[in-house]
Structure 1
Amino acid sequence: MSTYSFNPSELSQSVTNWAVAQRIVGSFAPHAQVAPGMKIIVDPGHLFAGTTLTEVDTQVVGPFARPASGFRIDRVVIDRLSGEASVVAGSPNSVTPPNIPDGALPVARVFVQDTASAITDADIVDERALSDLKQVTSGNVVCRANLNGVEQPIPRQVWTKVNLAAASLDIGGAFHAATNSFRPSVAGLYEIYAQTNMIVQPNGSLAVAIQKNGVMTSTSNVSAPSPYSLAAVCMDVVELNGTSDYVQMAAHQNNPSTTNLLSMSYGTFMIAKRIG
Protein backbone atom coordinates (compact mmCIF):
# COMPACT_ATOMS: atom_id res chain seq x y z
CA MET A 1 0.00 0.00 0.00
CA SER A 2 1.38 3.45 -0.88
CA THR A 3 0.65 6.98 0.27
CA TYR A 4 -0.05 9.89 -2.07
CA SER A 5 1.73 13.27 -2.12
CA PHE A 6 -0.94 15.84 -2.97
CA ASN A 7 -0.09 18.69 -5.31
CA PRO A 8 -2.56 21.59 -4.90
CA SER A 9 -2.09 22.50 -8.56
CA GLU A 10 -3.34 19.04 -9.59
CA LEU A 11 -6.34 18.52 -7.30
CA SER A 12 -8.86 20.73 -5.54
CA GLN A 13 -8.96 20.92 -1.76
CA SER A 14 -12.26 19.03 -1.62
CA VAL A 15 -10.82 16.18 -3.69
CA THR A 16 -7.72 15.88 -1.51
CA ASN A 17 -9.81 16.03 1.66
CA TRP A 18 -11.99 13.21 0.36
CA ALA A 19 -8.95 11.10 -0.52
CA VAL A 20 -7.60 11.52 3.03
CA ALA A 21 -11.03 10.65 4.47
CA GLN A 22 -11.15 7.47 2.38
CA ARG A 23 -7.71 6.45 3.67
CA ILE A 24 -8.86 6.87 7.28
CA VAL A 25 -12.37 5.44 7.01
CA GLY A 26 -11.54 2.59 4.62
CA SER A 27 -8.56 1.21 6.56
CA PHE A 28 -8.83 -2.62 6.91
CA ALA A 29 -12.46 -2.64 5.65
CA PRO A 30 -13.80 -6.24 5.51
CA HIS A 31 -16.00 -7.45 2.65
CA ALA A 32 -16.83 -10.46 0.48
CA GLN A 33 -14.75 -11.38 -2.56
CA VAL A 34 -15.89 -10.15 -5.99
CA ALA A 35 -16.81 -13.77 -6.70
CA PRO A 36 -17.85 -14.85 -3.19
CA GLY A 37 -16.20 -17.96 -1.76
CA MET A 38 -15.25 -19.21 1.69
CA LYS A 39 -12.65 -16.44 2.04
CA ILE A 40 -13.13 -12.69 2.53
CA ILE A 41 -11.14 -9.57 1.70
CA VAL A 42 -9.62 -7.11 4.17
CA ASP A 43 -8.78 -3.85 2.40
CA PRO A 44 -5.42 -2.03 2.74
CA GLY A 45 -4.81 -0.25 6.02
CA HIS A 46 -2.22 1.49 8.14
CA LEU A 47 -1.10 1.36 11.78
CA PHE A 48 0.99 3.77 13.82
CA ALA A 49 2.97 2.61 16.88
CA GLY A 50 5.36 4.97 18.62
CA THR A 51 7.31 6.39 15.67
CA THR A 52 6.60 3.56 13.22
CA LEU A 53 4.00 3.84 10.42
CA THR A 54 3.13 0.44 8.93
CA GLU A 55 1.31 0.24 5.57
CA VAL A 56 -0.50 -3.06 4.93
CA ASP A 57 -1.72 -4.30 1.52
CA THR A 58 -5.02 -6.03 0.73
CA GLN A 59 -5.33 -9.39 2.48
CA VAL A 60 -7.33 -12.49 1.60
CA VAL A 61 -8.51 -14.09 4.84
CA GLY A 62 -9.74 -17.66 5.29
CA PRO A 63 -10.99 -20.10 4.25
CA PHE A 64 -13.71 -20.24 6.87
CA ALA A 65 -14.51 -23.83 7.81
CA ARG A 66 -18.19 -24.80 7.87
CA PRO A 67 -19.39 -26.20 11.21
CA ALA A 68 -20.49 -29.82 11.30
CA SER A 69 -24.06 -28.64 11.98
CA GLY A 70 -25.83 -25.38 12.73
CA PHE A 71 -23.76 -22.20 12.69
CA ARG A 72 -20.69 -20.51 14.11
CA ILE A 73 -19.61 -16.90 14.61
CA ASP A 74 -15.94 -16.38 13.80
CA ARG A 75 -13.89 -13.24 14.25
CA VAL A 76 -11.35 -11.60 11.95
CA VAL A 77 -8.62 -9.71 13.79
CA ILE A 78 -5.36 -7.99 12.88
CA ASP A 79 -2.09 -7.93 14.78
CA ARG A 80 -1.90 -4.44 16.25
CA LEU A 81 1.71 -3.93 15.14
CA SER A 82 2.08 -5.85 11.85
CA GLY A 83 -1.52 -5.56 10.64
CA GLU A 84 -1.54 -9.25 9.65
CA ALA A 85 -5.11 -10.55 9.53
CA SER A 86 -6.20 -13.90 10.96
CA VAL A 87 -9.35 -15.82 11.89
CA VAL A 88 -10.38 -16.67 15.45
CA ALA A 89 -12.92 -19.51 15.33
CA GLY A 90 -16.03 -19.31 17.50
CA SER A 91 -17.93 -22.07 19.29
CA PRO A 92 -20.54 -24.05 17.30
CA ASN A 93 -24.12 -22.77 17.73
CA SER A 94 -23.09 -19.99 20.13
CA VAL A 95 -24.24 -16.41 19.59
CA THR A 96 -21.24 -15.16 21.60
CA PRO A 97 -18.25 -14.39 19.36
CA PRO A 98 -14.77 -15.60 20.37
CA ASN A 99 -12.59 -13.39 22.53
CA ILE A 100 -10.21 -10.95 20.88
CA PRO A 101 -6.67 -12.28 21.44
CA ASP A 102 -4.09 -10.21 23.27
CA GLY A 103 -2.12 -8.09 20.82
CA ALA A 104 -4.93 -8.02 18.24
CA LEU A 105 -7.53 -5.51 17.07
CA PRO A 106 -11.04 -6.52 15.88
CA VAL A 107 -12.04 -6.18 12.23
CA ALA A 108 -15.21 -8.22 11.63
CA ARG A 109 -17.57 -10.94 12.79
CA VAL A 110 -18.37 -13.61 10.21
CA PHE A 111 -21.49 -15.77 10.36
CA VAL A 112 -20.79 -19.27 8.98
CA GLN A 113 -23.55 -21.85 8.43
CA ASP A 114 -23.14 -25.58 7.86
CA THR A 115 -24.86 -25.18 4.47
CA ALA A 116 -22.77 -22.19 3.33
CA SER A 117 -21.14 -22.34 -0.08
CA ALA A 118 -19.79 -18.79 0.15
CA ILE A 119 -19.35 -15.88 2.55
CA THR A 120 -21.32 -12.84 1.34
CA ASP A 121 -21.46 -9.29 2.65
CA ALA A 122 -24.67 -10.22 4.48
CA ASP A 123 -22.62 -12.65 6.60
CA ILE A 124 -20.04 -10.02 7.62
CA VAL A 125 -20.47 -7.54 10.46
CA ASP A 126 -17.89 -4.74 10.44
CA GLU A 127 -16.53 -4.16 13.97
CA ARG A 128 -13.29 -2.31 13.27
CA ALA A 129 -11.77 -0.67 16.33
CA LEU A 130 -8.25 0.30 15.30
CA SER A 131 -7.26 2.22 18.41
CA ASP A 132 -6.97 1.18 22.02
CA LEU A 133 -7.54 3.63 24.89
CA LYS A 134 -5.85 1.34 27.40
CA GLN A 135 -2.86 3.14 28.84
CA VAL A 136 0.37 1.41 29.82
CA THR A 137 2.26 2.75 32.83
CA SER A 138 5.98 3.06 32.27
CA GLY A 139 6.98 0.90 35.23
CA ASN A 140 4.42 -1.88 35.09
CA VAL A 141 4.95 -4.39 32.28
CA VAL A 142 4.91 -8.09 33.20
CA CYS A 143 4.02 -11.13 31.08
CA ARG A 144 3.89 -14.89 31.67
CA ALA A 145 3.10 -16.86 28.50
CA ASN A 146 2.66 -20.62 27.97
CA LEU A 147 1.58 -23.31 25.48
CA ASN A 148 -2.05 -23.11 26.62
CA GLY A 149 -2.20 -26.84 27.35
CA VAL A 150 -1.12 -28.02 23.88
CA GLU A 151 2.04 -30.12 23.48
CA GLN A 152 4.26 -28.88 20.64
CA PRO A 153 6.27 -31.27 18.44
CA ILE A 154 9.92 -30.21 18.06
CA PRO A 155 11.83 -31.73 15.10
CA ARG A 156 15.21 -33.28 15.78
CA GLN A 157 18.21 -30.88 15.69
CA VAL A 158 16.22 -27.87 14.45
CA TRP A 159 15.80 -24.67 16.43
CA THR A 160 12.02 -24.16 16.53
CA LYS A 161 9.97 -21.21 17.76
CA VAL A 162 7.89 -22.15 20.81
CA ASN A 163 4.19 -21.54 20.15
CA LEU A 164 3.40 -19.47 23.22
CA ALA A 165 -0.37 -19.30 22.71
CA ALA A 166 -1.75 -17.78 25.91
CA ALA A 167 -0.74 -15.51 28.77
CA SER A 168 -1.74 -16.27 32.35
CA LEU A 169 -0.40 -12.81 33.26
CA ASP A 170 -0.19 -9.83 30.89
CA ILE A 171 0.14 -6.50 32.67
CA GLY A 172 0.77 -3.85 30.03
CA GLY A 173 -0.71 -5.78 27.09
CA ALA A 174 2.66 -6.77 25.59
CA PHE A 175 1.84 -10.41 24.74
CA HIS A 176 1.01 -11.06 21.06
CA ALA A 177 -0.62 -14.45 20.55
CA ALA A 178 -0.64 -14.07 16.74
CA THR A 179 3.18 -14.02 16.66
CA ASN A 180 3.88 -15.96 19.90
CA SER A 181 5.95 -13.01 21.07
CA PHE A 182 6.45 -10.45 23.81
CA ARG A 183 6.39 -6.97 22.23
CA PRO A 184 6.05 -4.16 24.78
CA SER A 185 5.01 -0.60 23.96
CA VAL A 186 7.26 0.74 26.74
CA ALA A 187 10.99 1.03 26.03
CA GLY A 188 13.47 -0.23 28.59
CA LEU A 189 15.42 -3.16 29.98
CA TYR A 190 13.51 -6.41 30.43
CA GLU A 191 14.41 -9.51 32.40
CA ILE A 192 13.47 -12.60 30.37
CA TYR A 193 13.12 -16.09 31.84
CA ALA A 194 12.43 -19.04 29.52
CA GLN A 195 11.83 -22.63 30.58
CA THR A 196 10.83 -25.69 28.58
CA ASN A 197 10.32 -29.33 29.53
CA MET A 198 10.61 -32.58 27.56
CA ILE A 199 10.93 -36.30 28.17
CA VAL A 200 14.23 -37.10 26.44
CA GLN A 201 15.37 -40.50 25.25
CA PRO A 202 18.69 -42.15 26.25
CA ASN A 203 21.59 -39.73 25.73
CA GLY A 204 19.16 -37.14 24.39
CA SER A 205 19.34 -33.42 25.04
CA LEU A 206 17.07 -30.39 25.25
CA ALA A 207 17.96 -26.73 24.77
CA VAL A 208 16.05 -23.47 25.14
CA ALA A 209 16.90 -20.03 23.75
CA ILE A 210 15.77 -16.45 24.07
CA GLN A 211 15.58 -14.56 20.77
CA LYS A 212 15.35 -10.81 20.18
CA ASN A 213 13.97 -9.87 16.74
CA GLY A 214 14.67 -13.44 15.59
CA VAL A 215 18.32 -13.43 16.74
CA MET A 216 19.44 -15.63 19.62
CA THR A 217 20.70 -13.70 22.67
CA SER A 218 21.23 -16.60 25.10
CA THR A 219 20.74 -20.34 25.36
CA SER A 220 20.97 -23.27 27.78
CA ASN A 221 21.31 -27.02 27.21
CA VAL A 222 20.64 -30.13 29.37
CA SER A 223 21.05 -33.85 28.68
CA ALA A 224 20.53 -37.23 30.37
CA PRO A 225 22.06 -40.73 29.88
CA SER A 226 18.66 -42.43 30.30
CA PRO A 227 15.01 -41.52 29.60
CA TYR A 228 14.12 -38.60 31.81
CA SER A 229 11.94 -35.51 32.03
CA LEU A 230 14.31 -32.58 31.64
CA ALA A 231 13.77 -28.85 32.09
CA ALA A 232 16.00 -26.40 30.20
CA VAL A 233 16.15 -22.90 31.68
CA CYS A 234 17.55 -19.70 30.20
CA MET A 235 17.68 -16.12 31.55
CA ASP A 236 18.76 -12.83 30.01
CA VAL A 237 18.37 -9.05 30.26
CA VAL A 238 17.27 -7.55 26.92
CA GLU A 239 16.83 -3.93 25.86
CA LEU A 240 13.63 -3.32 23.86
CA ASN A 241 12.74 -0.08 22.05
CA GLY A 242 8.99 -0.12 22.79
CA THR A 243 7.98 -0.17 19.11
CA SER A 244 9.41 -2.81 16.76
CA ASP A 245 11.54 -4.94 19.12
CA TYR A 246 10.13 -8.28 20.23
CA VAL A 247 11.21 -11.38 22.15
CA GLN A 248 10.41 -15.01 21.33
CA MET A 249 11.42 -18.36 22.74
CA ALA A 250 12.94 -21.28 20.80
CA ALA A 251 13.64 -24.93 21.61
CA HIS A 252 16.05 -27.55 20.25
CA GLN A 253 16.25 -31.28 20.94
CA ASN A 254 18.64 -34.08 20.04
CA ASN A 255 16.58 -37.27 20.25
CA PRO A 256 16.23 -39.98 17.58
CA SER A 257 12.95 -38.45 16.38
CA THR A 258 10.49 -35.58 16.80
CA THR A 259 9.62 -35.11 20.48
CA ASN A 260 6.94 -32.98 22.14
CA LEU A 261 7.43 -30.12 24.56
CA LEU A 262 5.39 -30.75 27.69
CA SER A 263 2.44 -28.38 27.91
CA MET A 264 1.87 -27.99 31.67
CA SER A 265 1.89 -24.35 32.73
CA TYR A 266 4.92 -25.07 34.94
CA GLY A 267 6.73 -27.00 32.18
CA THR A 268 7.07 -24.67 29.20
CA PHE A 269 6.68 -20.93 29.65
CA MET A 270 8.35 -17.53 29.32
CA ILE A 271 8.29 -14.63 31.80
CA ALA A 272 9.18 -11.07 30.84
CA LYS A 273 9.38 -8.19 33.31
CA ARG A 274 10.46 -4.58 32.90
CA ILE A 275 13.31 -3.73 35.27
CA GLY A 276 14.39 -0.31 34.03
Structure 2
Amino acid sequence: MPVTTLKSAQKFEDKGHAEVEFVGFRYTGDASMKADLDIRERAGYNGPAKFQQGQVYLALLPTYLDPNHVENANMGVHALEARNDFEVIYDAKRLAEALLERNYLPPEVFYEGFDRYKRKKLFEKLSLDDHGRVFGKDDEEPYRDGLRAIAGIERDEAAEVSQQRTDEYIQRFSRSQAADIVRTLQAPATDPPFEPSDHTIDELEAKLETDDDEKWDDETLEVLYVAEQNGDDRAGARNAIEDVLGDSVETDSVIDLETAGLTDMAEFLTRFEPDVVETTVAEVTGEE
Protein backbone atom coordinates (compact mmCIF):
# COMPACT_ATOMS: atom_id res chain seq x y z
CA MET A 1 0.00 0.00 0.00
CA PRO A 2 2.26 2.82 -1.22
CA VAL A 3 1.66 6.49 -0.50
CA THR A 4 1.15 8.12 -3.89
CA THR A 5 1.17 11.72 -5.04
CA LEU A 6 1.63 13.82 -8.14
CA LYS A 7 4.80 15.83 -8.60
CA SER A 8 2.64 18.72 -9.78
CA ALA A 9 0.88 18.83 -6.40
CA GLN A 10 4.18 19.23 -4.60
CA LYS A 11 5.28 21.81 -7.15
CA PHE A 12 2.14 23.92 -6.65
CA GLU A 13 2.49 23.71 -2.88
CA ASP A 14 6.14 24.77 -3.03
CA LYS A 15 5.00 27.88 -4.92
CA GLY A 16 2.27 28.60 -2.36
CA HIS A 17 -0.55 27.79 -4.77
CA ALA A 18 -1.79 24.63 -3.05
CA GLU A 19 -2.21 22.81 0.23
CA VAL A 20 -1.46 19.09 0.16
CA GLU A 21 -2.42 16.67 2.91
CA PHE A 22 -1.81 13.03 3.76
CA VAL A 23 -5.23 11.35 3.54
CA GLY A 24 -6.83 7.99 2.99
CA PHE A 25 -9.83 7.09 0.91
CA ARG A 26 -11.86 3.97 0.32
CA TYR A 27 -14.46 2.70 -2.12
CA THR A 28 -17.82 2.18 -0.38
CA GLY A 29 -19.95 1.12 -3.35
CA ASP A 30 -21.71 -2.18 -3.96
CA ALA A 31 -19.16 -3.87 -6.22
CA SER A 32 -16.30 -5.89 -4.75
CA MET A 33 -13.88 -4.06 -7.05
CA LYS A 34 -14.19 -0.69 -8.78
CA ALA A 35 -12.14 0.31 -11.82
CA ASP A 36 -12.28 4.09 -12.16
CA LEU A 37 -9.83 6.16 -14.18
CA ASP A 38 -11.74 9.28 -13.17
CA ILE A 39 -10.26 9.04 -9.67
CA ARG A 40 -6.77 9.27 -11.09
CA GLU A 41 -7.56 12.13 -13.44
CA ARG A 42 -9.72 14.25 -11.16
CA ALA A 43 -8.45 13.44 -7.67
CA GLY A 44 -4.77 13.48 -8.55
CA TYR A 45 -4.28 9.94 -7.29
CA ASN A 46 -1.20 8.41 -8.89
CA GLY A 47 -1.83 4.75 -8.09
CA PRO A 48 -3.62 1.92 -9.94
CA ALA A 49 -7.17 2.76 -11.00
CA LYS A 50 -8.70 -0.33 -9.36
CA PHE A 51 -10.16 -0.04 -5.88
CA GLN A 52 -11.19 -2.93 -3.65
CA GLN A 53 -14.31 -2.37 -1.59
CA GLY A 54 -13.49 -1.22 1.94
CA GLN A 55 -9.72 -1.09 1.48
CA VAL A 56 -8.04 2.16 2.47
CA TYR A 57 -5.72 3.76 -0.09
CA LEU A 58 -3.18 6.34 1.05
CA ALA A 59 -2.12 9.42 -0.85
CA LEU A 60 -0.95 13.01 -0.65
CA LEU A 61 -3.80 14.91 -2.27
CA PRO A 62 -4.50 18.61 -2.68
CA THR A 63 -7.06 19.92 -0.19
CA TYR A 64 -6.83 23.40 -1.71
CA LEU A 65 -5.72 24.71 -5.10
CA ASP A 66 -5.52 28.42 -5.88
CA PRO A 67 -7.81 28.98 -8.91
CA ASN A 68 -5.72 32.01 -9.88
CA HIS A 69 -2.70 29.83 -10.50
CA VAL A 70 -4.04 26.32 -11.06
CA GLU A 71 -6.21 25.61 -14.08
CA ASN A 72 -8.01 22.61 -12.56
CA ALA A 73 -8.59 23.93 -9.06
CA ASN A 74 -11.24 21.27 -8.36
CA MET A 75 -8.70 18.46 -8.52
CA GLY A 76 -7.89 16.65 -5.27
CA VAL A 77 -10.04 15.55 -2.35
CA HIS A 78 -12.91 17.67 -3.69
CA ALA A 79 -13.37 15.19 -6.54
CA LEU A 80 -13.56 12.31 -4.07
CA GLU A 81 -15.89 14.14 -1.69
CA ALA A 82 -18.26 14.81 -4.58
CA ARG A 83 -18.71 11.07 -5.07
CA ASN A 84 -21.23 9.05 -3.08
CA ASP A 85 -19.26 5.82 -3.52
CA PHE A 86 -15.99 7.01 -1.97
CA GLU A 87 -15.11 8.19 1.53
CA VAL A 88 -12.16 10.45 2.33
CA ILE A 89 -10.38 9.74 5.62
CA TYR A 90 -8.66 12.63 7.40
CA ASP A 91 -8.61 11.25 10.94
CA ALA A 92 -5.11 10.35 12.16
CA LYS A 93 -6.45 7.47 14.24
CA ARG A 94 -8.08 5.78 11.25
CA LEU A 95 -5.04 6.40 9.06
CA ALA A 96 -2.81 4.74 11.66
CA GLU A 97 -5.26 1.83 11.84
CA ALA A 98 -5.08 1.45 8.05
CA LEU A 99 -1.29 1.21 8.14
CA LEU A 100 -1.41 -1.38 10.92
CA GLU A 101 -4.16 -3.45 9.32
CA ARG A 102 -2.14 -3.88 6.14
CA ASN A 103 0.92 -4.86 8.22
CA TYR A 104 3.01 -2.74 5.88
CA LEU A 105 5.14 0.34 6.37
CA PRO A 106 5.53 2.10 2.99
CA PRO A 107 9.25 1.96 2.08
CA GLU A 108 9.07 5.35 0.38
CA VAL A 109 8.17 6.86 3.77
CA PHE A 110 10.03 4.73 6.32
CA TYR A 111 12.89 2.84 4.70
CA GLU A 112 16.35 3.91 3.60
CA GLY A 113 16.09 6.14 0.55
CA PHE A 114 12.69 7.50 1.64
CA ASP A 115 10.95 10.36 -0.14
CA ARG A 116 11.48 13.37 2.13
CA TYR A 117 8.28 15.10 1.03
CA LYS A 118 6.06 12.06 1.64
CA ARG A 119 7.76 11.33 4.95
CA LYS A 120 7.30 14.90 6.17
CA LYS A 121 3.60 14.95 5.26
CA LEU A 122 2.80 11.59 6.87
CA PHE A 123 4.74 12.31 10.06
CA GLU A 124 3.14 15.74 10.42
CA LYS A 125 -0.38 14.43 9.90
CA LEU A 126 0.00 11.59 12.38
CA SER A 127 2.29 13.46 14.81
CA LEU A 128 4.51 10.40 14.56
CA ASP A 129 7.89 10.50 16.30
CA ASP A 130 10.94 10.09 14.09
CA HIS A 131 13.05 7.06 15.05
CA GLY A 132 15.33 7.24 12.05
CA ARG A 133 15.24 5.37 8.79
CA VAL A 134 14.30 1.71 8.62
CA PHE A 135 16.73 -0.85 7.23
CA GLY A 136 14.91 -4.06 8.17
CA LYS A 137 11.89 -5.51 9.97
CA ASP A 138 13.46 -5.08 13.40
CA ASP A 139 13.72 -1.32 12.84
CA GLU A 140 9.98 -1.05 12.19
CA GLU A 141 8.88 -1.77 15.76
CA PRO A 142 9.27 1.77 17.22
CA TYR A 143 7.08 3.08 14.40
CA ARG A 144 4.54 0.30 14.86
CA ASP A 145 4.39 1.14 18.57
CA GLY A 146 3.80 4.77 17.64
CA LEU A 147 1.03 3.86 15.20
CA ARG A 148 -0.61 1.63 17.81
CA ALA A 149 -0.55 4.52 20.30
CA ILE A 150 -2.18 6.84 17.74
CA ALA A 151 -4.80 4.23 16.83
CA GLY A 152 -5.45 3.33 20.47
CA ILE A 153 -4.59 -0.32 19.85
CA GLU A 154 -2.81 -2.42 22.45
CA ARG A 155 0.15 -4.45 21.35
CA ASP A 156 -0.84 -8.05 20.57
CA GLU A 157 2.30 -9.98 21.42
CA ALA A 158 0.72 -13.33 20.57
CA ALA A 159 -0.18 -12.10 17.08
CA GLU A 160 3.33 -10.72 16.62
CA VAL A 161 4.89 -14.05 17.54
CA SER A 162 2.52 -15.79 15.13
CA GLN A 163 3.52 -13.38 12.35
CA GLN A 164 7.20 -13.90 13.11
CA ARG A 165 6.73 -17.66 12.85
CA THR A 166 4.81 -17.25 9.58
CA ASP A 167 7.61 -15.11 8.12
CA GLU A 168 10.19 -17.66 9.27
CA TYR A 169 8.36 -20.57 7.62
CA ILE A 170 7.94 -18.61 4.38
CA GLN A 171 11.68 -17.99 4.25
CA ARG A 172 12.56 -21.51 5.30
CA PHE A 173 10.34 -23.76 3.17
CA SER A 174 9.39 -24.03 -0.46
CA ARG A 175 5.71 -24.45 -1.28
CA SER A 176 6.14 -28.18 -1.92
CA GLN A 177 8.01 -28.66 1.37
CA ALA A 178 5.37 -26.75 3.29
CA ALA A 179 2.64 -28.83 1.62
CA ASP A 180 4.29 -32.07 2.76
CA ILE A 181 4.60 -30.76 6.32
CA VAL A 182 0.99 -29.53 6.44
CA ARG A 183 -0.28 -32.77 4.91
CA THR A 184 1.41 -34.75 7.66
CA LEU A 185 0.18 -32.45 10.42
CA GLN A 186 -3.43 -32.42 9.31
CA ALA A 187 -3.65 -36.18 8.78
CA PRO A 188 -5.96 -37.81 11.37
CA ALA A 189 -4.17 -39.43 14.30
CA THR A 190 -6.33 -42.52 13.82
CA ASP A 191 -7.69 -44.19 10.70
CA PRO A 192 -11.36 -43.61 9.86
CA PRO A 193 -13.70 -46.56 10.45
CA PHE A 194 -14.28 -46.56 6.69
CA GLU A 195 -13.23 -44.46 3.72
CA PRO A 196 -16.02 -41.96 3.00
CA SER A 197 -14.82 -41.62 -0.60
CA ASP A 198 -15.72 -45.29 -1.16
CA HIS A 199 -19.39 -44.42 -0.72
CA THR A 200 -21.89 -42.24 -2.52
CA ILE A 201 -23.41 -39.43 -0.50
CA ASP A 202 -26.65 -41.40 -0.11
CA GLU A 203 -24.69 -44.42 1.12
CA LEU A 204 -22.71 -42.23 3.50
CA GLU A 205 -25.88 -40.71 4.94
CA ALA A 206 -27.29 -44.22 5.44
CA LYS A 207 -24.15 -45.37 7.27
CA LEU A 208 -24.27 -42.32 9.53
CA GLU A 209 -27.88 -42.96 10.52
CA THR A 210 -27.95 -44.83 13.84
CA ASP A 211 -30.24 -45.50 16.75
CA ASP A 212 -29.91 -43.27 19.80
CA ASP A 213 -27.99 -45.97 21.66
CA GLU A 214 -25.55 -46.52 18.78
CA LYS A 215 -24.50 -42.97 17.95
CA TRP A 216 -21.15 -42.20 16.37
CA ASP A 217 -18.83 -40.43 18.80
CA ASP A 218 -17.57 -36.95 17.88
CA GLU A 219 -13.94 -38.03 17.56
CA THR A 220 -14.79 -40.69 14.98
CA LEU A 221 -16.98 -38.28 13.05
CA GLU A 222 -14.22 -35.67 13.00
CA VAL A 223 -11.80 -38.29 11.64
CA LEU A 224 -14.33 -39.07 8.91
CA TYR A 225 -14.74 -35.38 8.18
CA VAL A 226 -10.99 -34.85 7.78
CA ALA A 227 -10.72 -38.01 5.67
CA GLU A 228 -13.36 -36.60 3.32
CA GLN A 229 -11.60 -33.22 3.16
CA ASN A 230 -8.29 -34.91 2.38
CA GLY A 231 -9.98 -37.18 -0.14
CA ASP A 232 -12.73 -36.29 -2.60
CA ASP A 233 -13.80 -33.27 -0.51
CA ARG A 234 -17.43 -33.44 -1.64
CA ALA A 235 -19.63 -30.70 -0.24
CA GLY A 236 -22.57 -33.08 0.13
CA ALA A 237 -20.48 -35.61 2.04
CA ARG A 238 -19.09 -32.95 4.36
CA ASN A 239 -22.59 -31.61 4.95
CA ALA A 240 -23.82 -35.09 5.84
CA ILE A 241 -21.11 -35.46 8.50
CA GLU A 242 -21.67 -31.90 9.74
CA ASP A 243 -25.37 -32.65 10.19
CA VAL A 244 -24.51 -35.48 12.56
CA LEU A 245 -21.73 -33.61 14.34
CA GLY A 246 -23.65 -30.38 14.75
CA ASP A 247 -21.60 -27.53 16.19
CA SER A 248 -18.73 -29.80 17.22
CA VAL A 249 -17.08 -29.96 13.80
CA GLU A 250 -14.07 -27.76 13.12
CA THR A 251 -14.55 -27.01 9.43
CA ASP A 252 -11.25 -25.10 9.16
CA SER A 253 -9.16 -27.94 10.56
CA VAL A 254 -7.49 -28.57 7.19
CA ILE A 255 -6.62 -26.46 4.17
CA ASP A 256 -6.82 -27.30 0.48
CA LEU A 257 -3.22 -27.97 -0.51
CA GLU A 258 -4.01 -27.72 -4.21
CA THR A 259 -5.11 -24.09 -3.99
CA ALA A 260 -3.33 -22.84 -0.85
CA GLY A 261 -0.29 -20.63 -1.30
CA LEU A 262 2.91 -20.74 0.72
CA THR A 263 1.68 -17.95 3.00
CA ASP A 264 -1.55 -19.86 3.73
CA MET A 265 0.44 -22.95 4.63
CA ALA A 266 2.90 -21.00 6.77
CA GLU A 267 0.01 -19.42 8.68
CA PHE A 268 -1.55 -22.86 9.14
CA LEU A 269 1.68 -24.15 10.71
CA THR A 270 1.43 -21.49 13.44
CA ARG A 271 -1.69 -23.26 14.76
CA PHE A 272 0.64 -25.94 16.11
CA GLU A 273 3.22 -25.64 18.86
CA PRO A 274 6.72 -24.96 17.48
CA ASP A 275 8.10 -28.27 18.77
CA VAL A 276 5.29 -30.17 17.04
CA VAL A 277 6.13 -28.44 13.76
CA GLU A 278 9.84 -29.14 14.18
CA THR A 279 9.20 -32.83 14.87
CA THR A 280 7.11 -33.03 11.72
CA VAL A 281 9.75 -31.15 9.72
CA ALA A 282 12.37 -33.68 10.80
CA GLU A 283 10.03 -36.52 9.85
CA VAL A 284 9.17 -35.11 6.43
CA THR A 285 12.43 -33.50 5.32
CA GLY A 286 15.04 -35.24 7.42
CA GLU A 287 16.11 -31.80 8.65
CA GLU A 288 17.73 -31.88 12.08
Fold in common (TM above 0.5): no
Q: Which has the higher helix share?
A: 2
Query: Which of 1 and 2 has higher RCO (CA within 8 Å, sep 6+)?
Result: 1
| TM-score, L = length of structure 2 | 0.23
Pair member with larger Rg: 2
| TM-score, L = length of structure 1 | 0.24
